[in-house]
Amino acid sequence: MEYLLQAVTSILSPLGLLINLLGVALGIVFGALPGLNGVVGVALLLPITYNMAPEFGLIMLGGLYMGATYGGSISAILLNCPGTGEAACTALNGNPMARQGRAKEALSYSVLSSSLGGMFGVIVMLLFTPMLARLALKFGPPEQFLVSVLGLAVVGSLMGKSLAKGIFSVAFGLILSIVGMDITSVNYRLAFGNIHLQAGLNLIPISVGFFAISEMLDLLCQAPKNELVTNTFSKFRLCDTTVDIFRRWRILLKSSVIGTIIGILPGTGGAIASFIAYGEAKRSSKERNQFGSGAIDGLIAPESANNAAVGGSFVPLLSLGIPGSATSAIIFGALTVHGMIPGPRLFSEHADIVYALMFGLLISVFLMLFLGLSGTRLFTKILKVNPRFIIPAVIAFSIFGAYSARNDIFDIFIAIIFGLIGLIFKRTQIPIAPAVLGMILGSMAEQNLRQSMVIAAAKDINILAYITIRPISIILIALISLLIWGNFKAGLRADD
Amino acid sequence: MKMKRCIVGLCLALLLGVSVFAQGGGETRTQDPFPSKSVQFIVPYAAGGGTDSLMRLLAKAMETELGQSFIITNKAGGLGQVGLTELANAKNDGYTIGALSNLDHILVLLTNGNVGYTYDSFEYLGAINTTANVIYANNKNTKFTSVNEMVAYAKQNPGKLTISISGKTHLAEVALLEKAASIDLTPVMQNSGNDSLKAILGGHVDLAVMDKNFVAQVTGQGVTPLAVFSAERIAPVTSLPTFTELGYPIATETYRVIVAPKGTPAEICQKITEIIRIVSGKEDFKSKMQSMSENYRYLDAEQVKNRLDGDLKAMKDLLTAVPNAFN
C-alpha cells in the first residue's frame, strides 16, 4: 500500500504527467509516421532513460508504446499508409471512410476504441498478472503453432473478392518469412550467398514498401489532383460517436479480450492481435457485407485489439521476465540497466517502480484519448494538402524508417522494391494485407511446428497427437474451424 | 505520362535514400592526436541486448574521457556477421571500431560458408567483461538436482531429454557436453534466451542452456540450475559447480571483444586499449556494470588474442571430433 501511494505520487506529480504526456505524444508521432513505430521509438529513447529515475523512464517508454500503437491508425485512415502491421487492418475500413468524407468520424472511432481497448488491457494486467502469466506458460510449441494457424485463418476475411489472389498473397508472405537463417537447423535459406539476405528480411522495410511507398507510387500515377480527398467533410458529432461506440460494446469487448490474450503470449504482438480481432469481427458482425468499404466494426475491432495487447504484453514481462512483444523486450532492457531483474522478485523488491509503470500506463490511456480527440481537426487538415507535397514527404519518411529498422542501406532498396511489388499487387487487385500477415506469422508457425516435431520425436509421441491432444489445443482448433467456416461461407455467398 | 511520373518518383526515392545516408566526408589531419573527430562504434547486435547495453556504457565513458563522441551503430544479423562484414571493410584509420562476442565470432567463421572476412581481419583490442552459460533442469519433468543424475538418466534414455538452446554457442556447448559425458540430448532451438526461459518454465522442455543471469529469474519457479560451463566458478552464482569440477572437461565463457579493422595504426590501437583500461577500471564504471549484472574483467590486446586463439582451437577440435556438431 505504501508502495502504491509512492507510485501514484510520482505518476501524478507534474514531472510524471509531463513525461507521460511527452511519451504518448512522441508515440503518436512515431506511430503515425510511416516506417517508424513503437519499437523504433522506444529503442531511440532508451538511452535517454538511462540517466532518468527508473520510474520516470518507464512511464515515458510505456506512454510511447501506448501512443505509437494508436498513432499508426492516423496514417492508415488518412493516407492509406499503415506504417506497420498493427494498423494494416485499420486501413481496410478507415481509409474508405476518409475517402467518403468521414475522416473525422473515423479518427474519433479509432481513438475511442484504442483508448477503451488500451484501458481494458491495462486493467486486466493490473488485476490478473500472476494468474495470466501461468496461463501464458501453458502455451508451448503446439499451442503457439495453433495460434499462428488461427492468425493465418484470418486471411479469409482479408482477401476481398478472389480466393485465388488472397491465397497467392499469403503464400508470397510465407515465402518472404523463410528468407534468412533457419534457426532450427542453423542454415541459410533463400539467401543466395548474400549477407544481407542471410540476416533475413525485416518486416519494417517490407511493410513500408508494401503499404506506404506503393500507395504513394499509385497516387503519382493517377491524374493530378489538388487534394487527397475531394469529398467535403460530412458533419458529425462526437457525442453521437461516443454513444454509438458503446452500443457496439460486444465487438469492443471481444476484440479487447482477443488483443489482451494475444498480447500476453510471448513472441506475438499487436499486429497479430489486430488481424485476429478483425477476422473475428468480420465473421460475426452484422456489417460484414460493408467490410472493406467503411465498416465501423472493422475499424474499432483491430484498433481496440492492438492497444489491448500493450497491457497484455507486460504480463509475462513483469511476472516471469519474458517480454510479450518486440517493444516490451526493449523496455526489458530499460529495467535491467537499472539493476532490476524482471520476474517474480520484481514485485517484492521494486514494487514502487512496477506500480509506477502499471498505473502510468493507465494515465497514458487517458492522455492518448485527450491528445487523439483534440488532434482530430489538425490531423484531417492533411487531406487538404496538395499530394505533390505529401508524396515526397511520405516517401522520405518511409525510406528513413526502412533504414532505421536495422541501420542498413540494403533495407532502403528492399522498401523500394516492395513498393513496386505493392504497386503491381494493387494494379492486379491482389490484396496486400495477407502478404504481410503471412510474413508476420510464417516464422512463428514454422518454428513452433518444427519444435513440436523435435520434442515429439524425442519423446516417441505421434506428432499429430502431441499437437492436438491438449486442452488448449482443442479450444484453438475449434476457433480455427469456426473462423475458416465463417469466412469461407461468406466468401461463397458473395460468389453467387 | 504515367510511366514518366513513376520513374521520376522512383529516382526521387533513390536519390533521397542515397543522399540522406551518404557519409559526410570530414578531413582528418594526421598530426592531430587521435581522436580528432567522432568515432563510429559498430555493435553487430540489436539495441537493448547484452552486448549493446555494455558497449553503450563503454562508449559513453570513452566519450567523457576523450571529449569526442563514440556513436553506437547497431547492425544486427547473422550472429554478428552483418556488422562485422561492414567493420572489416571499413577504413582502418581508427575512426570505425566495433565489438564482437567471442564464440559467435569463431563459430560464424568455422561453420558459415561465404563469410566476407577472416579471423585475421581484425585487430583485437581488449575486453571488459566475462559471463558464462548455465545448464538448467525443469523440476516437473525431471527430478535432477545434479549433473550426475542428469547424465545417468541420459545414458539410459539416449535422445529422450530435450534441451532448449538459442544460438550456435549453445549448440557448441551441448555438443561439448555430449562428447564429454558420452550422452545424446535433443536440442530444441529457440530464437532467444527469453524463449528458452519460457520453454523451461512452462515445462515444454526438460533442460535449457541460458546465461548465468537467468539464475536469479528462475529462482523459486520450479527450475534448478545444475552447473556452469566456465572453467572457474562465476559470481554471483558461485554455489554452482563447474563442469570441470564434476569431471567433464568443458570450459567455455562469453566475453565481448572491442575490435578495429586490420591495419589500423598500432599507436591508435594501443591508445584505444589504454583508454578502455582507464575508463573501465574506474569504480563508477564497475558499479554500473554490476548493476547491469555484468562481471568486470579487463583483458588487454595480447591477453584477449590468446584467449580467442584458445577458443578457436577448442572449437576446431570439437569440429574434428564431431564433424556434424552444427548440423
Hey, what amino acid is at A155? V
Higher pLDDT, A320 or B20: A320
Question: Can you tell me the mean pLDDT for A55-71?
Answer: 94
pLDDT tens-digit series, residues A193-224? 787 888 788 888 998 999 999 999 998 888 77
What is the C-alpha separation between A285 and A301, in angstroms, rounded?
A: 10
Hey, what amino acid is at B102? N
Query: Does residue B302 sit in the same domain as residue B227?
Result: no
Query: Does residue B101 sit in the same domain as residue B194?
Result: no
Instruction: Report CB contact under 8 Å: B17, A399.
Output: yes
Query: Does residue B153 sit in the same domain as residue B219?
Result: yes
C-beta of residue A169 within 8 angstroms of C-beta of residue A432: yes
Question: Can you tell me the mean pLDDT for A31-41?
Answer: 85
Instruction: Report CB contact under 8 Å: B81, A455.
Output: no
- Mean pLDDT rounded to a whole number for chain A: 88
pLDDT tens-digit series, residues B31-85? 578 889 999 999 998 776 788 889 988 998 999 999 998 988 888 777 888 889 9
Tell me, yes or no, whether B218 lies in a domain. yes
Spell out which residues of chain B touch residue A458, defining contact as CB-CB under 8 Å. Answer: 159-162, 186
Instruction: Report CB contact under 8 Å: A406, B74.
Output: yes
What is the C-alpha separation between B67 and B56, in angstroms, rounded?
A: 16
Spell out which residues of chain B touch residue A339, defining contact as CB-CB under 8 Å. Answer: 290-293
What's the total number of domains in chain B?
2
Helix or strand holding residue A89 (H, E): helix A88-99
Model confidence band, residue B13 (pLDDT cutoffs 50, 70, 90): low
Higher pLDDT, A126 or A408: A126
Question: Can you tell me the mean pLDDT for B294-312?
Answer: 95
CA-based nearest residue in chain B for residue A143: B204
Query: Does residue B191 sit in the same domain as residue B51?
Result: no
Residue B70's CATH number: 3.40.190.150
- Identify from B165, B201, B286 which residue to disrupt to test chain A contact, counting A C-beta atoms within 10 A and taking the largest count: B201
* Of A94-103, B27-36, B223-232, B267-276, the least confident: B27-36
Q: B144-156 as b/e, with b when 16 or more CB fall inside 10 Å?
A: beebeebbebbee
C-beta of residue B16 within 8 angstroms of C-beta of residue A413: no
Instruction: Report CB contact under 8 Å: B77, A332.
Output: no
Spell out which residues of chain B touch residue A216, defining contact as CB-CB under 8 Å. Answer: 9
Tell me, yes or no, whether B10 lies in a domain. no
Of B219, B251, B283, the residue at which a domain comes to its end is B251
Query: Does residue B151 sit in the same domain as residue B127?
Result: no
Q: What angle do CA A261, A267, A269 make, to 5 degrees?
A: 55
**Percent residues over pLDDT 90 in chain B:** 63
C-beta of residue A193 within 8 angstroms of C-beta of residue A401: no
Query: Does residue B92 sit in the same domain as residue B141?
Result: no
Spell out which residues of chain A touch residue B327, defining contact as CB-CB under 8 Å. Answer: 185
pLDDT tens-digit series, residues A265-305? 887 888 999 999 999 998 888 888 888 889 999 999 999 99
- The parent domain of residue B84 ranges over 39-131+254-319
ipTM confidence: 0.83
Q: Indicate the pTM of the whole model.
A: 0.86
**Percent residues over pLDDT 70 in chain A:** 98
- The parent domain of residue A155 ranges over 2-188+226-399+430-495
3-state DSSP call for residue B69? coil
Tell me, yes or no, whether A230 lies in a domain. yes
pLDDT tens-digit series, residues B145-181? 999 999 999 999 999 999 999 888 999 999 999 999 9
Tell me, yes or no, whether A210 lies in a domain. no
pLDDT tens-digit series, residues A372-429? 999 988 898 888 888 888 899 999 999 988 888 777 889 999 999 999 999 999 999 9
Spell out which residues of chain A touch residue B9, defining contact as CB-CB under 8 Å. Answer: 216-217, 220, 391, 395
3-state DSSP call for residue A150? helix
Question: Can you tell me the mean pLDDT for B313-318?
Answer: 94
Query: Does residue B230 sit in the same domain as residue B269?
Result: no
CB-defined contacts A:B, below 8 A: 178
Instruction: Report CB contact under 8 Å: A337, B291.
Output: yes
Instruction: Report CB contact under 8 Å: A330, B188.
Output: no
Question: Can you tell me the mean pLDDT for B256-268?
Answer: 95
Instruction: Report CB contact under 8 Å: A181, B78.
Output: yes
Question: Can you tell me the mean pLDDT for A125-132?
Answer: 89
Instruction: Calculate helix-pair angle for A103-138, A249-264, nearest 10 degrees.
Output: 40
Tell me, yes or no, whether B28 lies in a domain. no
HSE value, Cβ hemisphere, 13 Å, CA-based, for B255: 25
Query: Does residue B161 sit in the same domain as residue B192?
Result: yes
Spell out which residues of chain A touch residue B208, defining contact as CB-CB under 8 Å. Answer: none
Q: What angle do CA B285, A338, B275 make, to 5 degrees?
A: 20
**Closest-CA distance of chain A to residue B219, Å:** 9
- Dihedral pair phi/psi, residue B98, rounded to 5°: -165, -170
Tell me, yes or no, whether A146 lies in a domain. yes
Query: Does residue B243 sit in the same domain as residue B170?
Result: yes
CA-based nearest residue in chain A for residue B13: A395
**B291 vs A184, A338, A342: nearest CB:** A338
Instruction: Report CB contact under 8 Å: B5, A220.
Output: yes
Tell me, yes or no, whether A353 lies in a domain. yes
Question: DSSP letters along B134-153, please?
Answer: EEEEETTT----SHHHHHHH
pLDDT at B125: 96
Tell me, yes or no, whether B201 lies in a domain. yes
pLDDT at B11: 54
In sequence order, which ranges of A238-380 are alpha helices (DSSP H)? Answer: 238-247, 249-264, 270-284, 296-320, 326-337, 344-349, 351-380
Tell me, yes or no, whether A391 lies in a domain. yes
Question: Can you tell me the mean pLDDT for B232-257?
Answer: 94
Query: Does residue B217 sit in the same domain as residue B307?
Result: no
Tell me, yes or no, whether B34 lies in a domain. no
**A323 vs B56, B194, B291: nearest CB:** B194
The yes-or-no verdict on residue B15 having pLDDT over 80 is no
Of B251, B285, B310, the residue at which a domain comes to its end is B251
The yes-or-no verdict on residue A230 having pLDDT over 70 is no
Cell of A245: 461506440
pLDDT at B27: 42
Tell me, yes or no, whether B25 lies in a domain. no
pLDDT at A494: 58
Instruction: Report CB contact under 8 Å: A336, B53.
Output: yes
**A459 vs B111, B160, B221: nearest CB:** B160
Query: Does residue B146 sit in the same domain as residue B288?
Result: no
Spell out which residues of chain A touch residue B213, defining contact as CB-CB under 8 Å. Answer: 341
pLDDT tens-digit series, residues A449-496? 999 999 999 999 999 999 999 999 999 999 999 888 887 776 666 554
pLDDT at A222: 81
Instruction: Report CB contact under 8 Å: B48, A43.
Output: yes
The yes-or-no verdict on residue A21 having pLDDT over 90 is yes
pLDDT at A445: 93
Indicate the Cα dihedral angle A405, A411, A416, A420, nearest 10°.
-100
Tell me, yes or no, whether B304 lies in a domain. yes
Instruction: Report CB contact under 8 Å: B189, A199.
Output: no
What is the C-alpha separation between B109 and B102, in angstroms, rounded?
A: 11
HSE value, Cβ hemisphere, 13 Å, CA-based, for A145: 19
Query: Does residue B72 sit in the same domain as residue B119?
Result: yes
**Closest-CA distance of chain B to residue A432, Å:** 20
**Percent residues over pLDDT 90 in chain A:** 53
Instruction: Report CB contact under 8 Å: B195, A267.
Output: yes
Instruction: Report CB contact under 8 Å: A339, B13.
Output: no
What's the total number of domains in chain A?
1
Tell me, yes or no, whether B23 lies in a domain. no
Residue B223's CATH number: 3.40.190.10
pLDDT at B29: 45
